[in-house]
Structure 1
Amino acid sequence: MIGKLSITALLLAASLMAGNLSFESGVIKGHTEVFGDSTIDPMFKKATSHLMLDDTLMSLRGSIDVSMSDFFSDNKKRDEHMQEVLESSLFPKAVFDVKEVVAKGSDTYLIKGMMTLHGVTKPLSFEGTMNEEGNKLHIKAQSSLKMTDYGIKPIKMMFLTVRDQVDLSVDVTLKR
Structure 2
Amino acid sequence: MKDVIKIIIICITWLLSHSLLAQDKFITQTGYTKFFSSAPLEDIEAHNNQVQSVIDFTKQEVVVSMDMQAFEFDKSLMQEHFNENYVESEKYPKAIFKGTFTNGSTIDPTKNGEYAVAVEGTMTIHGVTQPVTTEGTIIVNGPSINAKTKFIVKVADHDIDIPKIVFHNIAEEVEVTVDIKYSPLNS
TM-score (structure 2 length as normaliser): 0.74
Instruction: Say if 2:126 is the partner of 1:118.
Output: yes
Distance 2:132 2:167 in 1: 31
Measure how far apart 1:43 and its partner are.
1.6
Which 5+ residue runs of structure 1 have no aligned equivalent?
A: 1-12
For 1:169, the aligned partner's letter is T
Q: Deviations over 1:31-79 (max 9, x none)?
A: 11222323x111211111233223xxxx431411000111111111101
Q: 2:94, 2:135 → 1: CA distance?
A: 22
**Match among 159, 172, 175 for residue 164 of structure 1:** 172
Q: Give the secondary-structure state (helix, strand or coil) at the position aligned to 2:50.
A: coil
Closer, same or farther: CA 159–66 of 1 in aligned 2, 3 Å? closer
Secondary structure of 1:95's match? strand
State how far apart, in whole Å, the 2-side matches of 1:159 and 1:152 are: 13
C-alpha distance after superposition, 1:121-163 (max 9, x if no partner) = 1110221211112221111111111010011113556563411
Matches within 5 A, 1:61-140: 61-84=61-84, 85-102=86-103, 107-140=115-148
The answer to whether the aligner puts 1:36 opposite 2:41 as a matched pair is: yes
Q: What 5-or-longer segments of structure 2 have no aligned partner?
A: 1-17, 106-113
Q: Identity of counterpart residues, as a percentage?
A: 24
Asked if structure 1 preserves the Cα contact closer than 8 Å seen for 2:27 and 2:183, the reply is yes
In structure 2, do the counterparts of structure 1 residues 134 and 91 end up closer, same or farther at CA, with 3 Å as the change threshold? same
Tell me if the contact between 2:45 and 2:73 (Cα under 8 Å) persists in the aligned partners.
yes
Output the CA distance in 2 between the equivalents of 1:89 and 1:129: 33
Note if contact 1:155-1:161 (Cα within 8 Å) is conserved in structure 2. no
**In structure 2, how many angstroms separate the alpha carbons of the residues matched to 1:115 and 1:131?**
23
Counterpart of 2:56 (choices 52, 56, 69) is 52
Q: Do the aligned partners of 1:138 and 1:171 also contact (CA within 8 Å) in 2?
A: yes
**TM-score normalized with structure 1 length:** 0.78
CA gap 1:48/1:160 in 2 versus in 1, 3 angstroms:
same
Separation in 2 of the partners of 1:25 and 1:15? 22
